[in-house]
């Protein structure tokens, strides 16, 4: 069901009355916000150069919003940080006006079950007019590399078409303020699939011939026909005869001034699951099809397409999902009669994003190369997207060697699972989805290497020894969901180098065969305050005091309880037993646990239950005093200064979703509280320096990042500094405005 109120008049969608969303920081903003630098890091399905102005480009991402290249500042500018609707951070399509460089449109909607809208800006994305629409999108679903689904009529820029996934073709004649379904289009759409069914590709692209005005729309749904044409402005449509085989689905298309239409095909909608594909040229004047596929000898499809408008017949196309020998880009100067594979001509300089080298292994060409773009004002400059970065070269017109560099300054498009700010060493240690995690010695510089030994694509929890912060432990998981070796690691140099930690097999239930429960990434790890003891939360927790040589089972802890170490007293550990609604504590270094009074806590502790391996711990020990505990139960926060004997509720009127602790305010000995939550109907990032008696919102309406937050932590050494991990806009840190 749709989550917004909308009025329909026939098929007209009325424009949203919401005010424009400003991106520029407000002068009264209480905090200054910055990204911690990593450099891209996620999938950007397409990059688009403006044809209206030199050095203007846009990038769309699948969960981090859209970006604009600012040539004067030589950096990418995020365009949607002011938005509070998380779904709008998944960009289904992007269209830059071909004549007016100030106008740009976004089709925004992350998943088919979430709100969707068309966004229009007449100031290059500084502010937006938001028009909710009744058709669902999938900016972070399969098929997100196809497109572009948005197309602006070059003869009348107020007319825009949008090819939807599930509900056919839509049209606006008032610059996206209102929309109506094109009832004459032959494919009305398959409707939204069931909850557990795969998504639809739908209308994968709309392309308009600037010379003749003919409109072409491709369908990536199963069917007898996949290409449709209108020669009367969209009033009537016919399928195009003589298409490639039905098993090939069109993914992207471009048309040149001669009327040559080039189409990339896959046998799936991607970005995974594609095993075959092709590239075809269609002469719109003679209706003649020509197969110009550059390479038919390897599995995989084709998706990225770009023309050099200054040289008809010059075209670039990228492969997609070609795992062996890897994705590449081909270039032709003769309409596809001959192709050059630029993979073998390419070198990469990855100093802007060292993690691409995978700790010493040379960066590969990239995967999920769904988009490629040749600069229409400079054919020597080209860029392509990958599942981890954006590469750019100024050597594309050269016949041989090309140097590619990450084109990422300003782009931070990652999902942060966990983070910690230790009491010593680097100010921040992070755990990412897809790219492991990092030690951030300098928040403004991309780290020199990612976690390895073991390498785990996702880092799910990190802990440090409060009195010996050079000792770091972590747990993680692989995309395959199961490791053959280790999903736990420990470091004695602040996270710069690691050693694997392996837990012996166990039988978690009577009669069950023994197996390694630490191999699936579901076993968080904690370290004592002095770093001598590690406890791993396998179904039956295991403890080691010799770095994994020997293990024992703590007594009295029970099943499926996640131990938490005191950050000051190395003998103390704690755990929340949600099944029996009690708090457990150990005073002998984790050997034995016993219930503690927990006075002041609610009788039902179910709200403290950990759901999933990526959820931040509900129980947190302060690094500022022994026995200083903070426990979130549901949306309430409780504080104990005596190791759990008694608690006080401290969140006031704030509904707390996530929380973290930072250095006390000057003159105070109580940790500064940071929280993600709702107060007075306003969701945001909040701070309290008086034990939760009062709260200050420290983000503002220009800094909301879709309200897609996953973790928060204060800095124990710098008062007021807070670190926030988002789900799509990377790592953020905020400092009080002086």
Which residues are known to be catalytic?
62, 434
Angstrom distance (rounded) from CA 239 to CA 307: 25
Q: What does DSSP say about strands 227-230 and 215-219: parallel, antiparallel, or unpaired?
A: antiparallel
Name the burial class of residue 364, with classes exposed (0-12), middle (13-18) and buried (19+) by CB atoms within 10 angstroms of its CB.
middle
Q: What is the dihedral of CA 629, 632, 638, 639, to 10 degrees?
A: 20
Long-range contacts of 64-68 (CB under 8 A, 24+ apart): 64/89, 64/411, 64/412, 64/413, 64/414, 64/728, 64/729, 64/730, 65/89, 65/91, 65/706, 65/728, 65/729, 66/91, 66/94, 66/106, 66/125, 67/410, 67/411, 68/104, 68/124, 68/125
Q: Nearest to residue 457, comparing CAs of 348, 355, 610?
A: 355
Q: Nearest to residue 38, comparing CAs of 324, 578, 485, 434?
A: 434
Helix (H, G, I), strand (E, B) or coil at 345: helix
Q: What is the DSSP letter of 23?
A: -
- Whether the bond between 454 and the residue before it is cis, its omega within 30 degrees of 0, is yes
At CA 398, angle to CA 395 and CA 403, rounded to 5? 35
For residue 14 the two structure tokens come to 């009325």
Angstrom distance (rounded) from CA 145 to CA 304: 8
Looking at 97-172, which runs of residues are DSSP E strands? 104-108, 117-121, 129-132, 150-152, 160-163, 169-172
Angstrom distance (rounded) from CA 644 to CA 723: 27
């Amino acid at each position: 069901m749709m989550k917004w109120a909308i009025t329909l008049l026939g098929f007209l969608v009325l424009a949203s009355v919401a005010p424009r969303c400003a991106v520029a920081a407000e002068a009264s903003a209480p905090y200054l916000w910055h990204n911690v630098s990593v450099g891209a890091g996620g999938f950007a399905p397409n990059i688009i150069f403006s044809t209206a102005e030199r050095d203007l480009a846009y990038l769309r991402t699948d969960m981090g919003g859209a970006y604009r290249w600012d040539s004067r500042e030589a950096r990418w500018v995020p365009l949607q940080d002011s938005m509070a609707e998380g779904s709008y951070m998944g960009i289904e399509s992007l269209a830059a006006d071909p004549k007016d460089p100030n106008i740009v449109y976004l089709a925004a909607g992350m998943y088919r079950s979430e709100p969707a809208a068309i966004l229009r800006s007449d100031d290059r994305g500084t502010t937006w007019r938001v028009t909710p629409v009744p058709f669902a999108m999938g900016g972070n679903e399969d098929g997100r590399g196809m497109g572009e689904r948005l197309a602006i009529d070059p003869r009348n820029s107020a007319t825009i078409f949008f090819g939807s996934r599930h509900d056919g073709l839509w049209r606006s004649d008032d610059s996206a303020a209102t929309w109506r379904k094109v009832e004459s289009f032959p494919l009305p759409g398959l409707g939204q699939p069931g909850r557990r069914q795969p998504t639809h590709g739908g209308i994968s692209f709309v392309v308009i011939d600037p010379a003749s005005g003919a409109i072409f729309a491709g369908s990536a749904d199963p069917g007898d026909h996949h290409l449709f044409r209108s020669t009367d402005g969209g009033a009537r449509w016919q399928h195009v005869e003589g298409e490639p085989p039905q098993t090939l689905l069109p993914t992207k298309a471009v048309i040149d001034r001669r009327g040559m239409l080039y189409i990339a095909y896959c046998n799936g909608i991607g970005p995974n699951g594609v095993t075959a594909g092709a590239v075809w040229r269609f002469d719109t004047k003679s209706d003649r099809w020509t197969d110009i596929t550059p390479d038919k000898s390897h599995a995989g499809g084709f998706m990225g397409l770009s023309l050099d408008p200054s040289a008809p017949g010059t075209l670039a196309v990228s492969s997609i999902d070609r795992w062996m020998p890897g994705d590449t880009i081909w270039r032709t100067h003769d309409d596809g009669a001959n192709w050059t594979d630029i993979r073998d001509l390419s070198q990469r300089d990855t100093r802007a994003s060292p993690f691409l080298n995978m700790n010493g292994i040379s960066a590969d060409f990239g995967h999920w190369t769904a988009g490629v773009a040749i600069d229409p004002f400079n054919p020597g400059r080209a860029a392509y997207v990958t599942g981890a970065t954006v590469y750019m070269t100024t050597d594309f017109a050269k016949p041989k060697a090309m140097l590619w560099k990450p084109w990422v300054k300003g782009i931070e498009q990652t999902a942060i699972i966990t983070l910690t700010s230790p009491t010593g060493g680097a100010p921040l240690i992070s755990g990412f989805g897809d790219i492991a995690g990092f030690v951030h010695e300098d928040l403004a510089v991309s780290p020199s290497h990612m976690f390895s030994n073991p390498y785990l694509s996702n880092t799910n929890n990190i802990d440090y020894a409060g009195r010996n912060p050079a000792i770091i432990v972590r747990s993680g998981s692989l995309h395959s969901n199961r490791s053959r070796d280790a999903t736990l690691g420990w470091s004695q140099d602040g996270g710069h180098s690691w050693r694997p930690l392996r837990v012996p097999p166990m039988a978690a239930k009577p009669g069950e065969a023994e197996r390694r429960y630490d191999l699936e990434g579901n076993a968080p790890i904690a370290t004592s305050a002095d770093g001598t003891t590690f406890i791993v939360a396998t179904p039956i927790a295991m403890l080691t005091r010799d770095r994994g040589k020997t293990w024992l089972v703590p007594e009295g802890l029970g099943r499926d309880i996640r131990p938490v170490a005191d950050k000051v007293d190395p003998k103390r550990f704690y755990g929340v037993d949600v099944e029996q609604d009690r708090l457990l504590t150990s005073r002998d270094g984790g050997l034995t646990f016993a219930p503690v009074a927990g006075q002041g806590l609610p009788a039902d502790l179910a709200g403290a239950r950990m759901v999933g391996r990526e959820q931040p711990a509900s129980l947190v020990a302060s690094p500022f005093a022994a026995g200083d505990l903070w426990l979130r139960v549901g949306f309430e926060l409780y504080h104990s200064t005596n190791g759990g004997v008694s608690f006080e509720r401290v969140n006031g009127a704030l509904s707390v979703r996530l929380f973290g602790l930072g250095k006390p305010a000057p003159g105070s000995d109580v940790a500064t509280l940071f929280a993600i939550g709702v107060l007075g109907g306003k969701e945001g990032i909040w701070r309290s320096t008086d034990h939760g008696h009062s709260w200050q919102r420290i983000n503002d309406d220009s800094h909301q990042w879709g309200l897609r937050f996953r973790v928060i932590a204060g800095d124990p050494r710098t008062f007021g500094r807070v670190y926030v991990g988002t789900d799509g806009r990377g790592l953020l840190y905020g400092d009080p405005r002086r």
